[in-house]
Amino acid sequence: MEKTPLSDASKMELPTIVFATHNANKVEELRQMLEGYYRVQSLTDIGCHEPIVEDADTLAGNARIKARYVKDHYGLDCFADDTGLEVDALGGQPGVKTARYAGEDADSAANMNKLLKALQEVQADQRTARFRTSICLIQGEMEVLIEGVCEGKIAREQSGAAGFGYDPVFLPEGSNCTFAEMKPQDKHALSHRGRAVRKMVDDLLASFD
């Protein structure tokens, strides 16, 4: 059943939930999805500027570290995400090290170049991979782990100028376009993060039944 947002008169009393990120674009996306139900704040909004060390060996572990840090140090309900690219021909790498595959200070171009070089001799039917997003949601005493997965393949070369990260080399299952060649709304409908976020939003809005 479609949810009905709180009235304008009640908006000052919206519950606050923190998205454990400094990424303004990601925060704005969630604000739109939760408008009328929650006041979504970023780490910047709550004054959390200290580094949060993400040293877990799983995506879910890193998401939990960030969410638990906010809850324990600021006392606010929150959620955090972490995303990894798992390439079958590389035994699941880069996985939890996706953002720093080519080194701690590497950028997206360096990461993609290393990946394409590693797969240079790998045939098309063996280039299977998936993006996986893990979200940790903490509300009061409740802690929930949510996951979204998008299966696909690694292209032989970069294509497209949209998106970020590995988008120019990832071909989602059933498509001949990389994420970087898609319109944002088309990517969100298919993407790992979009799927995980929609599951989380459903969980959050369930409390308004």
Catalytic residue of the set 45, 82, 105, 125: 82
Token pair for residue 187?
């990517």
Compute the distance between CA of residue 9 and CA of residue 204 in angstroms, rounded to an integer. 21
Which letter, b or e, does each residue of 113-125 get, where b requires 16 or more Cβ atoms within 10 Å of its Cβ? Answer: bebeebbeebeee
Contacts of 113 (CB under 8 A, 6+ apart): 102
Compute the distance between CA of residue 72 and CA of residue 63 in angstroms, rounded to an integer. 14
Q: What are phi and psi of 169, to 5 degrees?
A: -120, 5
Q: Is 13 helix (H, G, I), strand (E, B) or coil?
A: helix
Is 77 marked active-site? no
- By annotation, the residues acting in catalysis are 82
